[in-house]
Structures are given as structure tokens and as C-alpha cells.
Amino acid sequence: MARAFNFSAGPSALPEEVLKEAAAEMLDYKGCGMSVMEMSHRSSTFQSILDDAEQTLRRLMGIPDNYRVMFLQGGATLQFACVPMNLMRGRHAGYLVAGNWSKKAWQEACKYGQADVLATSEPTGFDRTPHLGGMPDQSLDYVYLCQNETVYGTMTRELPDTGDVPIVADVSSMFLSSPLPVERYGLIYAGVQKNAGPAGNTVVICRDDLIGDGPALGDIVPTYMGYKLQASKDSLYNTPNAWGIYMCGKVFHWIEETGGLAAMEERNWEKANRLYGYIDGSSLFSPIARPDSRSIANVTFRCPTPELDAEFVAGAAERNIVGVKGHRILGGMRASCYNAVPAKAVDALLDYMEDFERAHAADCRTDAQ
Ligand SMILES: Cc1ncc(COP(=O)(O)O)c(C=O)c1O
């Protein structure tokens, strides 16, 4: 059975080499007589897997020493609450709302303090990233953004200037897609199920001083959700998602061995730009995200009618192209070109788009070039 051309937004394609390596170690991890799923998280074997994963990630991203790295559970969604509970010391934060994920995070934060929407692109259907009008109030606890809105396919390329206010970013769908200036953020988090491993781990990278002596909201914060405790226990306060951490470690090594983050960025833009280029010149497909806000990972587009979208998605499956259906709140199509999606998958998708457009010449716009 041939591997699918998998454009799923997450969980998504993992590197074949990593999957093969994990398969080979499934019954016996390095002579332990068991898989990583079966061993104690307190064993020295697992400790070295965890240490290695963290060190490799630190090398890859250039994470400074004054930042803590945590592998937590609860998905990126739990961080919508963890962030305000830990960081809203003055009970006042600012949110840039660029799509459904930042909107959800903002709604969650409103439960714990004053969360102001500093800018939003909701009036234009989240087709672009919103910009801060000027320097934000310097008494804010943080300015929050979702740097890549997975559903709409938009990405913030330039971080806003927030002065001394720390930037908190959900980078789930662009994590490890390209280098990030870690020192410009107060906190970065990402669900790993797009570019870094199987679902079930969230990597949180937080500057020491923001963790402080404990959560902003004090003892009411569920023990598990306190960054101070999680950081002091090095992700081993309770049973972690050990298998997930092991897989993430392998993916981190794979990224390092295949050129690191700069190489990922180059390959990812090459894949995405081939699709954007075709869509821009097409008379049938139209792009959803505005050119200046386009994502490196999630390419969103649509046909003139929802019926044609459905036909496109169904026909794709017949060619072993999967995961191209747009998110249910937006419709249309979305091709997520994460690190492990090979260029040949994009070739297959482009061939299909061309054939589909040719077969539907009657539906094409006459105004298009
Ligand atoms: C940018 C972003 N943030 C948050 C989430 C929610 O992640 P999870 O399902 O891990 O809670 C997603 C899920 O796709 C996402 O793309």
C-alpha cells in the first residue's frame, strides 16, 4: 500500500524515516526488552530520552538558557487557560485576534482577568493578520497572538513591537517550520501534532522571570497547570506522554539531520509558493488568505461553489491525496505542507488541480487572467 499524499492540518504527516525507526524499536527499545510505551517514566532509559529531546530542541531553536522547556499534556487548548492563570499578574492582558484559535484563547482569558482585543481581523473574515496600531499599554501582563492561524491559513511574519510587554505566541502550526527569534518572546507554545510528533504533547518554552514564584492566580490554579511546578519537575511531575516525547525527540533529530530550521523554512516556502502561484493564476480556484498574510504551512483556497469543493475533495481521495478538505467553520480546501510533506506530494496535488480545472472549464471565472 502506497503512503498517502497527506495534507492533513494535524495530526499530520510524520517523516517516514522516523516512523520506520520507531517501528524497528517497537518491541525492543535498545535492548530493554520492551517498547518505550511500556517502560517506567522514572527509568534512566526514559530520562535519557527526555533529556535528549529537550537538548536537541534547544540546539535546533537556539533556546537561551534563561528559558524553560516543558512537555505538557492537554493540547494547545489547555494553554489557553494556563497562560492567563500563570502570567496575568496584573489581571490585564492584550490579545491580537487573527482567527478562531486566538479568539478561543482570548475568550478563555476573559474568565481570569481583563483581556483586551488590541486588534482583530474578524470584520474581514480573518483573511489577514491584524496589526497593533501603536505601542501597547506598557502595564499589560503580555500581548498574545496565534502566529499561524491554521484554519484560515494566515501567518504573522513580523512580530509586533510591544516594548517591554512580553509576547506570548501560540505557534502550533508553524512550530519548527522555520527559525524563530526565541529571545523576542516571553512564552512560546505549540501542540506538537503538526510538525513535531504525534498528538498528545504541547511544548511550552517560557522565560524564567515570567514563571516567577508561581502562578499569577495563586493556589487556585490546578497543580498540573502551574508552570513553576512543571518547570521544577522537568516535565515529570506526573506520568508524561512518554511515547510522544520519544517520537518528538526523533523528529527533532530528523530536522537537525536534514538541514535544521533554515532548510525547513526554504523547503516549506518552496512547497507553499508553488501552490499559491498556481492558485493565483487559476480561473477556478481562489485564495482565501491575503497575499501579505499567507501561511508557510496551511494553504487555503476554494472553488466557485461548495459543491465543486466537495467534488474536488472526493476526487483527490481517488488519487490518494488526503486531508485537503477545509476546516468545517470555513469550508473550501486547505493543503497543509508541513515539514514531513514531501515535494512529490505537492507535485501530485498540482497535477490534480490542473486536471480538475481543465475538466471544469465551464465553471471557470472569465475575469481571471
Ligand atoms: C494554532 C492552533 N492552536 C491551538 C490548537 C488546538 O490544539 P489542540 O487540539 O492540541 O488543543 C490548534 C489545533 O489545530 C491550532 O492549530
The 10s digit of each residue's pLDDT in 57-96 is 999 999 999 999 999 999 999 999 999 999 999 999 999 9
What digits encode the pLDDT tens for the residues 249-285?
A: 999 999 999 999 999 999 999 999 999 999 999 999 9
- List the catalytic residue out of 194, 250, 271, 325: 194
Q: Exposed, middle or buried by CB within 10 Å (0-12, 13-18, 19+), for 102?
A: buried
Q: Which residues contact 65 (CB under 8 A, 6 or more apart)?
A: none
From the CA of 235, how far away is ligand 1's center (Å)?
20
Q: Is residue 70 part of a domain?
A: yes
- List the catalytic residue out of 103, 106, 170, 243: 170
Residue 286 shares a structural domain with residue 221:
no
Residue 357 shares a structural domain with residue 247:
no
Asked if residue 366 has pLDDT above 90, the reply is: no
Give residue 261's pLDDT. 98
The order of strands in the sheet holding 92-97 is 67-72, 202-207, 187-191, 167-170, 143-146, 92-97, 114-120
- Is 101 a known active-site residue? yes
Asked if residue 52 has pLDDT above 70, the reply is: yes
Final residue before a domain boundary, out of 222, 257, 292: 257
Residue 244 shares a structural domain with residue 321:
no
Residue 239 shares a structural domain with residue 297:
no
User: Which residues line ligand 1 at a C-beta cut-off of 6 Å?
Assistant: 10, 75-77, 101, 146, 150, 170, 172-173, 191
Give the whole-angstrom CA distance, residue 144 versus residue 76. Answer: 14
Q: How confident is the model at residue 369 (pLDDT cuts 50, 70, 90)?
A: very low
Inter-residue contact 164 to 204 (CB < 8 Å)? no
Give the whole-angstrom CA distance, residue 321 versus residue 349. Answer: 7
State the Cα angle at 179 between 173 and 181, rounded to 5°: 105
Residue 42, marked binder: yes
HEC assignment per residue over 84-127:
HHHHCCCCEEEEEECCHHHHHHHHHHCCCCEEEEEEECHHHCCC
Lowest mean pLDDT among 31-35, 236-240, 360-364: 360-364
DSSP-derived 3-state class of residue 322: strand
Please tell me what DSSP assigns to residue 74: S
Taking the CA of residue 74 as reference, the ligand 1 atom at the shortest distance is 11
From the CA of 28, how far away is ligand 1's center (Å)?
33
Residue 37 shares a structural domain with residue 80:
yes
134 phi/psi in degrees, rounded to 5: -170, -165
Residue 21 shares a structural domain with residue 132:
yes
Residue 238, marked binder: yes
**Does the N-terminal peptide bond of residue 222 adopt cis geometry, omega within 30 degrees of 0?**
no
Instruction: Specify the amino acid at residue 90.
Output: G
Residue 227 shares a structural domain with residue 265:
no
Domain containing 30 equals: 16-257
Give residue 364's pLDDT. 84
Final residue before a domain boundary, out of 227, 257, 287: 257
Query: Quick one: which of 295, 333, 330, 302 has its CA closest to 129?
Result: 295
Inter-residue contact 219 to 76 (CB < 8 Å)? no
From the CA of 199, how far away is ligand 1's center (Å)?
10
From the CA of 189, how far away is ligand 1's center (Å)?
10
Which residue minimizes the CA distance to atom 7 of ligand 1?
76
Q: Which residues contact 333 (CB under 8 A, 6 or more apart)?
A: 285, 300, 301, 302, 303, 309, 312, 313, 324, 325, 326
What digits encode the pLDDT tens for the residues 116-173?
A: 999 999 999 999 999 998 999 999 999 999 999 999 999 999 999 999 999 999 999 9
Which residue minimizes the CA distance to atom 9 of ligand 1?
75
Q: How confident is the model at residue 363 (pLDDT cuts 50, 70, 90)?
A: confident
Give residue 367's pLDDT. 62
Calculate Rg over the CA atoms of the chain. 21
Q: Is residue 8 part of a domain?
A: no
From the CA of 267, how far away is ligand 1's center (Å)?
23
Q: Is residue 213 part of a domain?
A: yes
Taking the CA of residue 78 as reference, the ligand 1 atom at the shortest distance is 11
Residue 361, marked binder: no
Residue 114 shares a structural domain with residue 225:
yes
Domain count, the chain: 2
Residue 273 shares a structural domain with residue 238:
no
Q: How confident is the model at residue 226 (pLDDT cuts 50, 70, 90)?
A: very high
Residue 13, marked binder: no
Mutational test site, ligand 1, from 77, 168, 204, 327, max ligand atoms within 8 Å of CB: 77
Taking the CA of residue 172 as reference, the ligand 1 atom at the shortest distance is 1
Final residue before a domain boundary, out of 225, 240, 257: 257
Give residue 122's pLDDT. 98
Residue 97 shares a structural domain with residue 235:
yes
What digits encode the pLDDT tens for the residues 99-112?
A: 999 999 999 999 99
- CB environment 292-315: b (16+ within 10 A), e (fewer): ebbbbbbbbbbbeeeebbeebbee
Query: Quick one: which of 158, 166, 153 has its CA closest to 121?
Result: 153
Q: Which residues contact 249 (CB under 8 A, 6 or more apart)?
A: 49, 50, 52, 53, 56
Residue 75 shares a structural domain with residue 148:
yes
Residue 129, marked binder: no
What digits encode the pLDDT tens for the residues 301-324?
A: 999 999 999 999 999 999 999 999
User: Percent of the chain beyond pLDDT 70?
Assistant: 99
- List the catalytic residue out of 101, 106, 243, 254: 101
Residue 50 shares a structural domain with residue 154:
yes
Give the whole-angstrom CA distance, residue 279 versus residue 365. Answer: 13
Q: Exposed, middle or buried by CB within 10 Å (0-12, 13-18, 19+), for 83?
A: buried
What digits encode the pLDDT tens for the residues 176-214?
A: 999 999 999 999 999 999 999 999 999 999 999 999 999
Give the whole-angstrom CA distance, residue 13 versus residue 28. Answer: 24
Q: Is residue 167 part of a domain?
A: yes
- Is 254 a known active-site residue? no
- Give me the residue label for grid cell 469550508: 331
